[in-house]
A and B are shown apart, each in its own frame.
Chain A
Amino acid sequence: MPRVIWNGSISFGLVNIPVRMFVAVRDHDVRFHLLHARDGVRVHQKLFCPADGEELDHEDTVRGYETSPDTYVVVHQDELDALAPKASRNIEILDFVDIAEIDPVYYQHPYYLLPEERSAGPYALLVQALEDSGRVGIGKLVMRNKEYLAALRPVDGVICLETMRFADEVMPTGEMEKFELDREPTKRELSMAMQLIDTLSSSFDPEKYHDEYREAVMELIESKAEGQEVTMPEAFVEPGKVVDLMSALEESLARAREKKERAG
């Protein structure tokens, strides 16, 4: 069972629904650790000052914001704390908007919200109202000292909270490089493209797609963990007659000698 990462409530108008928040996605990237190549010991990172080589603890450091190259404004933790958004345990829905209006580029990270025991009734009501209206709730919440914009949308009878990017974080397509078009597509070309789309149309089935690179890496790791030698598949020659070691080596040694002599 996933862990609760936040407690609070959804509020809109006079309604208040206590909820618990869970992560909705798992990151499956293969993560490696850095080991010392010589003895396999996991390496540590050290902070040090390049000016005098002194090794530092975290307490010896302050945060600096680079205003121009090599020029920093130092900002202290208590100054940041004073600016932190007021701690709040409330997700206040400000607007309900048509789900089709939100471009997926704004969605950042999904979480699930589940009702507290006594709020199951109002929670189910909100889910159904969202489903029936085809709208999503847009609101703000504070999590880990940071203010987030969020969309609340129904997914399989559960409310999914998507943290969202603020408008100034999304690069407008207008800022992208322009491309030249010598003529508009013809009607005929367009209808051919439409036909092709028609024949390839299907419904989205996420199960169909896999991260094949990750699977290959995990397979490699598992076989190494079992102590298997990992080699790339190669053509296999039928084993010949068993010979003694020295006669097996002789031929290859002679070839190696010859090559070296030729090389000088």
Chain B
Amino acid sequence: MIPAGVSHTSSHGSITDVSVHWPTLGEVWEVLSFQAGYNTNLVMLGTAFLGIGAGTIGAFALLRKRALVADALSHATLPGVAIAFLIGSWMGVSRSLPLLLLGAVVSGVIGALCVQLIVRYSRIREDAAIGAVLSVFFGVGVVLLSYIQNMNVGNQGGLASFIYGQAAAMSQTNAIIIGATSLFACLLTFAFFKEFRVLCFDSTYAAAQGWPVQRLDLLLLALIAIITVIGIQAVGLILVVAMVIIPPAAARFWTERLGVMTIVSATLGGLAGYLGAAASALLERLPTGAVIVLIAGGIFTFSMIAAPARGFVAHAARRARLRLLILEQHILRKMHEQLETVAGGADRHADASVSIADLASERNWSTLRLRVALRWLSARGLLNRHNHHVSLTESGAREAARTTRNHRLWEAYLVRNADIAPSHVDTSADLVEHVLGDQLVQELERELKAEGVLLPSPHPIVATHSAREGKS
């Protein structure tokens, strides 16, 4: 069975020619729309299916914290491949693909089981067991390969492709095997979705419920094994773990639902496979496997930075907004308190003003941050800025009163119930008061009233309600 494809990675042109030939848009479209010839299409479809399968299984491997077991498993396939090759050539079939894949699966699973055996029967921890199995099995494979290289049998060139992968040389048989296996893995995952979910989330509970946790784990391991094995020929056994880890890790940034995450992960994996194969068909000297991983890595980085729910930018923006909110509320409260004492009553707030210098000295606020906050407040119509002074507008005064009132409510509550209240909040008490929702404020009032605590209420209590209405 000789691979029908032609390697795109082998160097075209002369060695001295290092200039990159950039493809035209037309060429790009030609490749992406499956018009660039049978072999290219085959490779693109094959790697896309691989990405879909690996992404699906990977979601559960990641959540079950088995990510690097997949790495040990993929490295452990090498001796199996070599032994299968030796057996094949001894039987007279040179390089039978099913035999090689069978050898890979068997030795990969043996490797993964070795990790478990070492952890169970010795004092060596899981991380060291994974690393040891990974390197030693690979070493055995390397020794066997060096033996095979010196044998007088033809057709051994393909063996090296198991290490780095040679997607470009994908045959029709290869592509069909990948597609069928991937589909099979997706179907199994779909069928046992519920079981895998409870296994990954809470295996103790699953065991208490009578689910056969060990057998489910073994099923998951078997799925990882077959997807890894069909992947190594395309991506190579060093990088195939990336196909299992990166798409689900990237998908996790976009959703909080397991079902959606699995689908997104499969999609991203498929996309990486498709685009990676296309890129290596279009550009010279791009090994397909590595390009696929790099594209997956790009998707991951983009997701980590830009995903709306869990991405870095969204997270940073939320934190910045919270900080601004806190500063803003501090300023409002400060002004309210100052007016309470200086003006002898906050009802003449509208014409009273506070100097910016006073504000700045209050809490060591940096002038820059203060300026931003003041500008923001005046943009919201809560504040009038003069040269060195600021004064509250009417709605600003209401907002300030409301903020101060919430603060005092919370303070009173903490004084009363310090022993229980903060225990269920992770953020510090100082942070909490700034994010008190209306519902929580009402609850606070109710609770404090029930305990008979009378607040030193900031002046217009009735106004706080209208302020809330006015705001919305």
Please determine whether chains A and B interact with each other in the same assembly: no
Q: Which B residues lie at the A interface, using CB under 8 A?
A: none
Q: Which residues of A contact B (CB under 8 A)?
A: none
